[in-house]
């Protein structure tokens, strides 16, 4: 549908002459909430920012050798001050049927008798070679004719949120045909609150089922959500690049291009910066409702076919549970599927003593979520409308410490906004999911805190608007989601998939509809949320980064001078042996390794290494090569401990002092070479320091 030109629709007569091609166009308009655009032939408001937006939009081209065309009615032409007529730098097309209206001699002005004839003229030579984009700018009759017509590619609307008395109106935008592309932050100028929003055409005609919420697929989307328009490059560059997804994509590109190479708890390696795809919608909804319920059982999600927490709730993971501040702390007594006091528990029972996922915590701890709802309803100016998942005293009991750890809510101008701080952000897999989750939470909170009960079955959350009802407008609508990220990182295994994603152009965002009959946050189920018009690109496969020590599942501190790790796949034991007994049953070793258990170095305290040569024995299984090298240099001076757990990384070279290790492909992993192969043989045979 979109493009440089479209064809007129035929009347069905096979003998009808093929219609002339017509140029497509975009509408530019400013309107109130009830789509009022004028009073007594004039704009009821004076907004310099709106005039600047109009000028920038209609004047700018990507090809310096071309210009844009603006189509207007005669009255609109006459309303332009003489000193600004014709609009400079643009072809002014004036529609009139008056034979006495003759301005054809004016440069950059042409006269046409109808909208159709104007679009045909612009699609033909010479204008098809010199005109880049066509904008319809008014007045009322022309806008009523063209706003939702088949030739309209996009609608750029300045949404005036302040009430004005108008006598000229245009139809509402057909949201079954057009979907929001971009909406600016609201601004107030001359006491007039307004924002700039662009809608793009995604299909050729109205689809009845979209408004009826029929034909929902298993992921909660409409079966008719597929877009007939597949790309949106027809948009002006200044609008195209304002799509919110570009913020995410630019951050991903920046991290891949200029991120710091860092190690991480999974052993995968990341590109990271500090301070700075298809989203599984049903998973977003079910996980958020799971948080809201206060549940800590991954089995609740598993029973609904949601497996995003499986890896952190497995028997293997709980047994080899790793925290950043403790080298190994097993959760062997924890039932499989029990994640500990994670997000939902902290939201609903902060401070309560956690036992297991089966216990009834009713009335225990502090319910942060109900506190947020109470403050939004009764004290919206409170600066302490906060929910926190970060409880330091419970971190050791959690299968995974919170990444999105802190959210603050803000009420102003009838909008509820949310700012969330995320300490660690997986840009490939996590961030799109996190954005969707907290945006949904904000929509839910705005919905349950809204005192008016809507008369329609579903409440539509379309950018900054809700459907109004006979009971009056909604008191609270979703505002903005602000995402603050600490460590934003891209796993090295995700670089290629993300580069593929960077080549894909964003699409319009979908519309969320919430069951208006539900006002209690504890009563929602997944079917209460409908996502209309979600048409993502094809799925890009990105695997979750492997957990640290993935090949091992059991850790035993069985003697003072040995730590034993049993291999999950090979069944072999890897012995950590030394020429001396560890002090305090390996406590020094444990603490020394606490932050340096993967791809890092740590200098032991000098007294530990002052007289001993420290040897740790390496063993090889089908997935990993674990190597620990001597901790002393030839002169017996201290040397850094280098502990490597590597997947099958080809031709990886590590060199420390007088020992060199070469890592080969997985099937060649046994071909580890030391400078002294006899020494390695002795180590593997005797499991102790070399003679």
Active site residues: 403
* Helix boundaries (H) for 476-595: 495-502, 587-592
Q: In sequence order, what are the residues at sequence separation of 6 or more whose Cβ sits closer than 8 angstroms to the Cβ of residue 64?
A: none
687, 564 Cβ separation under 8 angstroms: no
Bridge partners of 472, per DSSP, are 469
Helix (H) or strand (E) holding 607: helix 606-609
Residue with tokens 């009838």: 414
Burial 165-185 (b: 16+ CB within 10 A, else e): ebebbbeebbbbbbbbbbbee
> 3-class DSSP state for residue 425?
strand
Burial class (CB in 10 A: 0-12, 13-18, 19+), 634: exposed
- The distance from CA 223 to its chain's CA centroid, rounded to whole angstroms, is 23
**CA–CA gap between residue 669 and residue 623 (Å, rounded):** 9
Contact 68, 134 (CB under 8 A): yes
Pairing assessment for the beta strands 641-646 and 625-628 based on DSSP bridges: antiparallel
At residue 57, what are phi and psi to the nearest 5 degrees? -70, -45
Chain-centre distance of CA 465, in angstroms?
21
Most distant CA atoms of the chain, gap in Å: 111
DSSP state of 200: E
- Return the number of other C-beta atoms located less than 10 Å from residue 333's C-beta: 8
Q: Which of 325, 287, 321 is nearest to 306 (CA)?
A: 287
Q: How far is Cα 641 from Cα 603, in angstroms, rounded to an integer? A: 6
Q: What distance in Å separates the CA atoms of residue 628 and residue 35, rounded to the nearest whole number?
A: 71
């Amino acid at each position: 549908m979109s493009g440089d030109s479209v064809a007129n629709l035929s009347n069905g007569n096979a003998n009808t002459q093929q219609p002339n091609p017509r140029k497509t166009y975009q509408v530019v308009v400013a309107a109130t909430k009830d789509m009022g655009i004028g009073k007594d032939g004039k704009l009821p408001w004076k907004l310099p920012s709106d005039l600047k937006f109009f000028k920038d939009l209609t004047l700018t081209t990507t090809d310096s050798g071309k210009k844009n065309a603006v189509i207007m009615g005669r009255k609109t032409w006459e309303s332009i001050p003489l000193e600004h007529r014709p609009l400079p730098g643009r072809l002014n097309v004036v529609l009139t049927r008056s034979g006495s209206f003759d301005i054809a001699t004016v440069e950059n002005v042409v006269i046409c008798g109808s909208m159709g004839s104007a679009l045909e003229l612009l699609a033909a030579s010479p204008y098809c070679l010199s005109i880049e984009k066509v904008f319809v700018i008014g007045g009322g009759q022309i806008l009523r004719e063209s706003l939702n017509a088949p030739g309209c590619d996009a609608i750029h609307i300045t949404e005036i949120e302040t009430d004005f008395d108008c006598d000229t109106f245009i139809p509402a935008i057909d949201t079954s045909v057009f979907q929001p592309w971009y909406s600016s932050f609201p601004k107030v100028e001359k006491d007039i609150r307004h924002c700039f929003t662009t809608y793009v055409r995604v299909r050729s005609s109205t689809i009845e089922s979209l408004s009826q919420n029929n034909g929902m697929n298993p992921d909660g989307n409409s079966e008719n959500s597929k877009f007939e328009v597949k790309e949106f490059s027809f948009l002006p560059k200044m609008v195209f690049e304002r799509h919110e997804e570009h913020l995410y994509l630019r951050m991903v590109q920046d991290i891949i291009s200029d991120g710091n190479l860092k190690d991480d708890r999974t052993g995968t390696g990341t590109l990271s910066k500090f301070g700075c795809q298809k989203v599984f919608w049903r998973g977003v909804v079910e996980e958020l409702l799971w948080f809201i319920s206060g549940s800590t059982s991954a089995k609740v999600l598993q029973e609904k076919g949601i497996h995003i927490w499986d890896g952190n709730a497995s028997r293997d993971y709980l047994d080899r549970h790793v925290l950043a501040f403790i080298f190994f702390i097993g959760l062997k007594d924890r039932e499989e599927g029990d994640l500990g006091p994670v997000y939902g528990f902290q939201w609903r029972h902060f401070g309560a003593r956690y036992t297991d996922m089966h216990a009834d915590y009713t009335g225990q701890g502090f319910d942060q979520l109900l506190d947020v709802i109470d403050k939004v309803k009764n004290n919206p100016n409170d600066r302490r409308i906060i929910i926190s998942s970060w409880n330091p005293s419970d971190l050791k009991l959690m299968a995974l410490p919170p990444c999105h750890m802190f959210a603050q809510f803000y009420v102003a101008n009838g909008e509820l906004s949310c700012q969330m701080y995320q300490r660690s952000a997986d840009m490939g897999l996590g961030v799109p999911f996190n954005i969707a989750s907290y945006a949904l939470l904000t929509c839910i909170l705005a919905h349950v805190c809204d005192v008016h009960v809507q008369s329609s079955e579903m409440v539509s959350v379309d950018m900054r608007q809700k459907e109004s009802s006979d009971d009056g407008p909604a008191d609270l609508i979703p505002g903005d989601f602000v995402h603050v990220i600490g460590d934003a990182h891209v796993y090295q295994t995700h670089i290629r998939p993300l580069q593929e994603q960077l080549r894909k152009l964003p699409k319009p965002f979908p519309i969320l509809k919430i069951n208006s009959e539900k006002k209690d946050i504890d009563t929602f189920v997944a079917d209460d949320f409908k996502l209309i018009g979600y048409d993502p690109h094809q799925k890009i496969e990105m695997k979750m980064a492997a957990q640290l020590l993935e090949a091992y599942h059991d850790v035993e501190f069985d003697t003072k001078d040995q730590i034993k790790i049993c291999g999950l796949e090979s069944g072999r034991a890897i012995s950590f042996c030394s020429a001396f007994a560890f002090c305090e049953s390996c406590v020094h070793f444990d603490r020394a390794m606490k932050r340096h258990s993967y791809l890092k170095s740590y200098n032991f305290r000098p007294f530990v290494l002052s007289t001993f040569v420290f040897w740790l024995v390496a063993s090889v299984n089908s997935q990993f090569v674990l190597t620990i090298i001597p901790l002393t240099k030839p002169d017996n001076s201290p040397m850094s401990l280098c502990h490597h757990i590597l997947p099958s990384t080809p031709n990886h070279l590590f060199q420390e002092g007088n020992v060199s290790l070469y890592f080969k492909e997985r099937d060649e992993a046994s071909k580890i070479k030391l400078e002294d192969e006899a020494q390695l043989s002795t180590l593997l045979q005797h499991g102790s320091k070399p003679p």
